[in-house]
Amino acid sequence: MTTPQPLLTSVTVGAYTLPNRVVMAPLTRNRAGEGNAPTAMNAVYYRQRATAGLIISEATQISPQGMGYPGTPGIYSAEQIAGWKQVTDAVHERGGRIFLQLWHVGRISHPSLQPNGELPVAPSAIAPDGMAATYDGMQPFVTPRALETEELPGLIAAYRQAAENAQAAGFDGVEVHSANGYLLDQFLQDGSNQRTDQYGGSIENRARLLFEVLDAVVDVWGGDRVGIRLSPSGTFNDMVDSDPQSLFTYVISRLNPYNLAYLHLIEPRTGEDSQNPAHDKAVMLTSEYFRTVYTGIILAASGYTQDTGNGAIAQNHADLVAFGRLYISNPDLVDRFAHNAPLNPYDRDTFYGGNEAGYIDYPTLTEQVA
C-alpha cells in the first residue's frame, strides 16, 4: 500500500474536518465587477478550485476607506454581499469550504481610490516608499493621515460589521488580514507606528488594535471559525520593525487562548523570489520557530511546492500549506498532487485585472486528457 502524501491527509481545523491540507491562498486578482462586487465569473473561478481543503478568498475591503487597488471586492454593501453569495454557493455545491479575508489597506492606497478623494489613513503620518496602483496607473504613495484615537472604535465596528456581512454572504469563516504591510500590520510595527497614545510605543500598545479587532470578529463567528494572517519576516510595502522577533513572539503567544481555526504565517521566501533585495533585509522567522510558541493549527505560506509542502507537514513545521501561484494555473491542484501530474505554468501577465483569460481558462487534467 502506498503511504498517502501528508498534504492529502485529513485534518480538523477549528469547526471543520478538511479532506486535505492543501489551502488556496488569498489571491488578489483585481476582477471585481461594478461597485466592487463579485460577479458570476468570480463564482466560476472559485468553484473550479473547490477541491482545496480550504479556500481563503482574495483580500476584501471592510469599508470604502479600506480600498487600495482597482477592482478589488468589498464586503460592506448589499450588492457585494449578494455577489459573494454567488461565490459561496458555487463553492458549497462542490463540497468546498471558503473563508473571507477581511482587509483594510491603511496607507497602501491613494486619494483617487478613497471616498471624496481623501487621504488614506494609517497609524502615523508616514508615507511608505513605492507606488500606488490606481485607475490611472502607478502613482507615488502620499503621506497618509494619522487616525485619531477616537476614530478607532468606529474602525473596529467596521470589522465587526464586515464579519457579520460575511455570515450573510454564506462564508464558512473569516480570516483577519494583519500581514503584508496593511493597516493592522502598520499598527504592529514601529517603522510605521510612531503614535504616543495607547496604540503606540510598547509592543503591547502596538498590538492593542489587532486584539480589539480580533475580539470583535471572534464575538461574531466564534474562535473556531476565525483565522489570522501575519508576516513576521515581511518587508513588503516598506515594513520594518526594530525587534520583529520580540513583537511577533508576543503577538502569537497571545493568540493561544483564542483557540482560532488557524494561524496563517507568511514565511521568508525560499523559492524564486528569495533573491529579491527585500529578502536580504528579512528576519528569518519561520513556522518551525513559531511551532514552539503557538499551540494551535499553523498554515504556512512561502512559495511552497508539492515536495516542500509535504515536507513541512511531515516534519511537523505546519499543519496546512497555502498555495498561491500554483492555484492560479491549476484549478485541480489537489488532483494533480494526487497523481503526481505535471502542473500548468502560470502567466504573470494575467495575474492582475482582465477577463476570463488567465483566470478561468486554465485546463484541468481531465480536460487535457480529453
Kindly state the average pLDDT of the residues 350-365.
96
The predicted structure's pLDDT at residue 271: 44
Is 87 inside any structural domain?
yes
Is 1 inside any structural domain?
no
Kindly state the average pLDDT of the residues 101-113.
98
Is 173 inside any structural domain?
yes
Measured at the alpha carbon of residue 66, what is the angle toward residues 247 and 87, in degrees to the nearest 5? 105
pLDDT over 60 at 278, yes or no: no
Compare 169 and 282 and report the one with higher pLDDT. Answer: 169
* Residue 361 CA, distance from chain mean position: 24
Active site residue 352: no
| Lookup: cell for 103 | 482587509
User: Which candidate in 182, 304, 327, 359 is catalytic?
Assistant: 182
Give the confidence band of 4 by pLDDT, cuts at 50, 70, 90. confident
The predicted structure's pLDDT at residue 269: 64
For 352, the domain range is 6-369
Give the confidence band of 274 by pLDDT, cuts at 50, 70, 90. very low
Convert the pLDDT of each residue in 180-228 to its tens digit.
999 999 999 999 999 999 999 999 999 999 999 999 999 999 999 999 9
230 contacts: CB under 8 Å, gap ≥ 6? 178, 179, 185, 248, 251, 252, 263, 264, 265, 266
Alpha-carbon span 10 to 22, nearest angstrom: 10
The average confidence (pLDDT) of the chain is 94
Alpha-carbon span 164 to 172, nearest angstrom: 12
At 243, which CATH number? 3.20.20.70
What DSSP state is assigned to residue 274?
A: G
Yes or no: say if 350 and 28 are a contact pair by the CB < 8 Å rule.
Answer: no
Kindly state the average pLDDT of the residues 75-81.
98
Q: Is the pTM of this model over 0.85?
A: yes
Alpha-carbon span 48 to 332, nearest angstrom: 7
Kindly state the average pLDDT of the residues 242-248.
96
Is 215 inside any structural domain?
yes
Tally of domains in the chain: 1
Is 62 inside any structural domain?
yes
Is 251 inside any structural domain?
yes
Convert the pLDDT of each residue in 303-338 to its tens digit.
999 999 999 999 999 999 999 999 999 999 999 999
Is 353 inside any structural domain?
yes
Alpha-carbon span 269 to 284, nearest angstrom: 9
